[in-house]
Chain A
């Protein structure tokens, strides 16, 4: 009899290892059955984990760190025994902003330096009183926010003065862009492809271009649950690592597309999934940008919840005023990532 674990996920390509672990026998091989429960917001994922209505969940890597630092107040401690891959995000802008950026030298290479500089020149050229541009992110404590902040400030822009970073839920991004409520966004796949293939946006840059191999999501468990169910936590870690390796293999791509497109998974057209899984991103409805490592599930340490990654996120959170500084806070932040459990699971 397999142990049933309730696992929350948000419809995003980087939930793939969870979906594959559930459907391709990786969980069963570890004595687990995964009851996957799709959720519509990161806050709901966090609250359902907190109240024990979910045992484990797909989570933005900075969220366990935020919880460890008392945000929100009273949040239980979470740990990440395994990461869910590198990259998967991109920055998409409206047709209008893209035209302005092209006039200022932006190119269809996704090059963050050139396109960031073009964006900065667009901001400088805006008439006085036209207000800041808006580039949406998916959650306050998100890799997306820190990636955009890094990109914008690197281009000499002052976040919140020159460019606002409002939160818009991923399923509404394309609509918000089309309606002119935002000028662009940073979101995980397939939501860039959905907007670009739908004719509502243009690709500005990718997380792979911005960060190289950037950590993104983790599997989150409640710290006290993981202590009480250590065998399950280790078994789940093994199942996810096995599934992530399967997801990386090119020969599994079409089957992965079908698993992710299913109505109980991401429930989206397969053509929105194929670009990122083939190492590409759409430039417009027909043309593709070659984007190596657009998403990496297992290779190059992508499943390891490294302390270096925790440190990077913590530094971003203090840099942008989202988290307190100090040795104690830093130690609490780093303690959420558990390479020791990862090593034990695989050892």
Chain B
């Protein structure tokens, strides 16, 4: 298996991450990348594909299904869990931290495997970063709505303009060493509790 291009299977129920990884592997010169999204019957599909390398989310419970296929079943050429092969402990640790698990056909040279695992690590990390950024953006949007609502309450209750209401929120937060969003939430909560029904909104 010196020059033959490697056959890689990606088992991932998340279509976006699978696509990101697939794209990266192809850019790295891996010609055959199979994505398996539906994990029912994953064993049969893998037996047919006979991949050299299988990449799967470390957190995917279906890993235990692969373990059986690769460890106990004698029907396929068995990739084995990429393990703390003392020679490259740092790569394995980076993989575990990134949430990447790789199974590799026994005897495959480490220098052929490393680029694939490295690519999986970087794409998994990139995906996690994207998801984090998306979560943060969503949170920011939600926070902005809360602050706007608190501002509206202050404007009505105290007859302030928008800029004054915001300045009051900010100075209160500074005095109490709290975040603006926390003060805004307190105002809304207080208005919900104290105000007549429906008045807080």
**Interfacial residues, chain A to chain B (CB-CB below 8 A):** 40-44, 47-48, 50-53, 71-76, 138-141, 166-172, 181, 322
Tell me, rounded to whole Å, the shortest Cβ–Cβ distance linking B184 to chain A.
28
**CB-based contact A41/B64 at 8 Å:** yes
The residue on A at minimum CB distance from B84 is: A50
Contact B71 A51, beta carbon cutoff 8 Å: no
User: Complex formed: what's the CA distance from A192 to B102 in Å?
Assistant: 31
A166–B59 contact, CB under 8 A? no
Q: Which of chain B's residues has its CB closest to A50's CB?
A: B84
- The total of chain B residues at the interface (CB under 8 A) is 28
A267 to chain B, nearest CB (A): 14
| Of the residues A44, A74, A166, A171, contact of B65 by C-beta under 8 Å | A166
**Distance to closest chain A CB from B142 (angstroms):** 22
Q: Judge whether B63 and A74 touch: CB under 8 Å.
A: no
In the complex, the answer to whether B64 meets A43 with C-beta atoms within 8 Å is yes
B residues 24-71 touching A (CB-CB < 8 Å) = 40, 43, 58-68, 71
Q: Is the CB of B71 within 8 A of A72?
A: yes
Point out the residue from A44, A74, A166, A322 that lies within 8 Å of B83, measured CB to CB: A74
In the complex, whether B182 has a CB less than 8 A from a CB of chain A is: no
Residues in A with CB closer than 8 Å to B83 are: 47, 50, 72-75
Q: Are A166 and B61 in contact (CB under 8 A)?
A: no
Which of B43, B89, B101, B106 meets A47, CB within 8 Å? Answer: B101
Indicate if B72 sits at the interface (CB-CB under 8 A): yes
Are A53 and B67 closer than 8 Å at their CB atoms?
A: no
Contact check, A47 vs B58: say whether CB atoms are below 8 A apart.
yes
Q: Given that A47-B101, A72-B80, A74-B86 are known contacts, is A171 also in contact with B67, CB under 8 Å in the complex?
A: no
Contact A51 B80 (CB under 8 A): no
Contact B63 A44 (CB under 8 A): yes
**Candidates B43, B65, B92, B97; contact of A169 at CB < 8 Å:** B65
Q: Are A139 and B101 in contact (CB under 8 A)?
A: no
Decide if the interface of chain A is mainly helix, strand, loop or mixed: loop
Please give, as numbers and ranges, the residues of chain A lying within 8 Å of B63 by CB-CB distance. Answer: 41, 43-44
**Are B96 and A139 closer than 8 Å at their CB atoms?**
no
Please give me the residue from chain A that is nearest to B72 by CB atom. Answer: A140
Report the separation of the CA atoms of residues A166 and B40 in the bound assembly, to the nearest whole angstrom: 12
Known contacts A73-B83, A166-B68, A171 near B61 by CB under 8 Å: yes
Instruction: Scan B69-102; emit 1 where CB is below 8 A from any A CB, else 0.
Output: 0011000000011011110010011001100010
Q: Which residues of A contact B72 (CB under 8 A)?
A: 140, 322
Task: Known A43-B67, A43-B81, A140-B68; judge A51-B62 contact (CB<8 A).
Answer: no
Does the CB pair B84–A167 fall under 8 Å?
Answer: no
Residue on A with the closest CB to B89?
A: A51
Compute how far the CA of A40 lies from the CA of B63 in the bound complex, rounded to whole angstroms.
9
Q: A169, B61: Cβ atoms under 8 Å?
A: yes
Partner pick for B96 among A53, A167, A168, A172, CB 8 A cutoff: A53
Residues of A within 8 A of B59 (CB): 40-41, 44
**Chain A neighbourhood of B61, CB < 8 A:** 40-41, 169-172
A169 touches B96 (CB 8 A): no
Instruction: Give which listed residue, B64, B71, B97, contacts A71 with CB less than 8 A.
Output: B71
Closest partner residue, chain A, to B73 (CB atom): A140
User: Closest CB of chain B to A171's CB: distance in Å?
Assistant: 6
CB distance from B137 to the nearest CB of A (A): 26
Measured in the bound complex, the distance between the Cα atoms of B80 and A74 in whole Å is: 10
CB nearest neighbor in B for A179: B40
Asked if A72 meets B81 with Cβ closer than 8 Å, knowing A167-B64, A169-B65, A322-B72, the reply is: yes
User: In chain B, what residue has the closest Cβ to A171?
Assistant: B61
Chain B residue at smallest Cβ distance from A39: B59
* CB <8 Å contact, A47 and B60: no
Chain B residues whose C-beta falls within 8 Å of the C-beta of A181 in the assembled complex: 40
Complex-state Cα separation, A76 to B86, whole angstroms: 10
16 of the cross-chain contacts (CB-CB < 8 Å) are A41-B61, A44-B59, A44-B101, A47-B58, A51-B96, A72-B71, A72-B80, A72-B81, A72-B83, A73-B85, A74-B84, A140-B67, A140-B68, A169-B64, A172-B61, A322-B72
Most A C-beta atoms less than 10 A away, residue of B61, B80, B85: B61
Considering the complex, give the chain A residue whose CB is closest to the CB of B99: A44
B60 near A167 with CB under 8 A, answer: no
Q: Please tell me which one of the listed residues A43, A138, A322 contacts residue B101 in the complex, with CB atoms under 8 A apart.
A: A43
Q: How far is the CB of B57 from chain A (nearest CB, A)?
A: 10
A337 to B97, CA, bound (A): 29
| 14 additional A-B residue pairs with CB within 8 Å, beyond A44-B58, A166-B65 | A43-B67, A43-B81, A47-B81, A50-B83, A52-B93, A53-B97, A71-B71, A74-B83, A75-B83, A75-B84, A138-B64, A139-B64, A166-B68, A168-B65
